[in-house]
Amino acid sequence: MHQRGRNRIGRILCTLIALLVIAPAVAWAASEEHGGGGGLISFDKSLIVQGVNFLLLLGVLHYLLYKPLIGKMQERTAAIQKSLEEAQAARAEAARQQEANATRLRSAYQEAAAIRAQALKEAAEEQRKLVEAAQVEARRLVETARAQTDADIRRARDELRREVAGLAVAVAEKLVRKSLREEDHRRIVDDAVSRIGA
């Protein structure tokens, strides 16, 4: 479509140039016929030769200048068209690459969120295990302390009983030395035993 339009414009331009060159010649020739006297162009064989020369010149110029100019313009048009197509392809590739990058970025965000959720879950599980271990250790320490306290209390009671028994024996000896009656002696021993039991 563009090629035909350019060819048509080229022909019109050549025709206009030919008319612009021939029109003054015809006007001068007409003025010479009417008595204008020696003009530059006369209607004889030389006018035909000049016309043929001019048409040859137009043909040579058309062949040497117009065709290469049109060829260069077509090359330039093709190069521009190719550049436009390459630019569109590059734009499409850039859009595709951008979409791929956006997809990868979304995937990376999702993976990071999954890793974070897994890390939080593992941290919560580890915290739960640590709390359970601390509670077990606390219970063990309490039970150990309770057992130690119970053992200390038993030891203290046993020691207290021995001391009380020793004191009771010492008191009994003193009382026996004073020659107490047997009833007093039993009453004192029963009293001491009942205190130990309490």
Same domain, residue pair 163 and 85: no
- Residue 108, in any domain of the structure: no
Contact yes or no for 197/168 (Cβ under 8 A): no
pLDDT at 187: 79
- Residue 133, in any domain of the structure: no
Contact yes or no for 171/192 (Cβ under 8 A): yes
Same domain, residue pair 167 and 87: no
- Residue 149, in any domain of the structure: no
- In which element (H, E) is residue 167 found? helix 67-177
Question: Could you give the CA distance from residue 62 to residue 71 in angstroms, rounded to a whole number?
Answer: 12
pLDDT at 98: 93
- Copy the structure tokens of residue 120: 């939080």
- Residue 118, in any domain of the structure: no
Gap between the terminal Cα atoms of the chain:
127
Same domain, residue pair 85 and 160: no
- Residue 25, in any domain of the structure: yes
Q: What is the mean pLDDT of each run of 10 residues along the chain (198 residues)?
A: 66 69 60 53 72 85 84 91 93 93 92 92 91 91 91 88 79 66 72 74
Same domain, residue pair 87 and 171: no
Contact yes or no for 172/189 (Cβ under 8 A): yes
pLDDT at 106: 93
Full residue range of the structural domain in which residue 183 is found: 156-197
Contact yes or no for 176/185 (Cβ under 8 A): yes
Long-range contacts, stretch 3-10, CB < 8 angstroms, 24+ apart: 3/74, 6/70, 6/73, 7/70, 10/62, 10/66, 10/70
- Residue 117, in any domain of the structure: no
pLDDT at 174: 72
pLDDT at 71: 86
Same domain, residue pair 6 and 84: yes
160-192 burial: b if 16+ Cβ within 10 Å, else e = eeeeeeeebeeeeeeeeeeeeeeeeeeebeeeb
pLDDT at 181: 64
- Residue 122, in any domain of the structure: no
Contact yes or no for 188/175 (Cβ under 8 A): yes
pLDDT at 81: 93
95, 125, 140 - which closes a domain: 95
pLDDT at 78: 93
Same domain, residue pair 161 and 85: no
- Residue 78, in any domain of the structure: yes
pTM for this entry? 0.37
Number of domains in the chain: 2
Same domain, residue pair 91 and 164: no
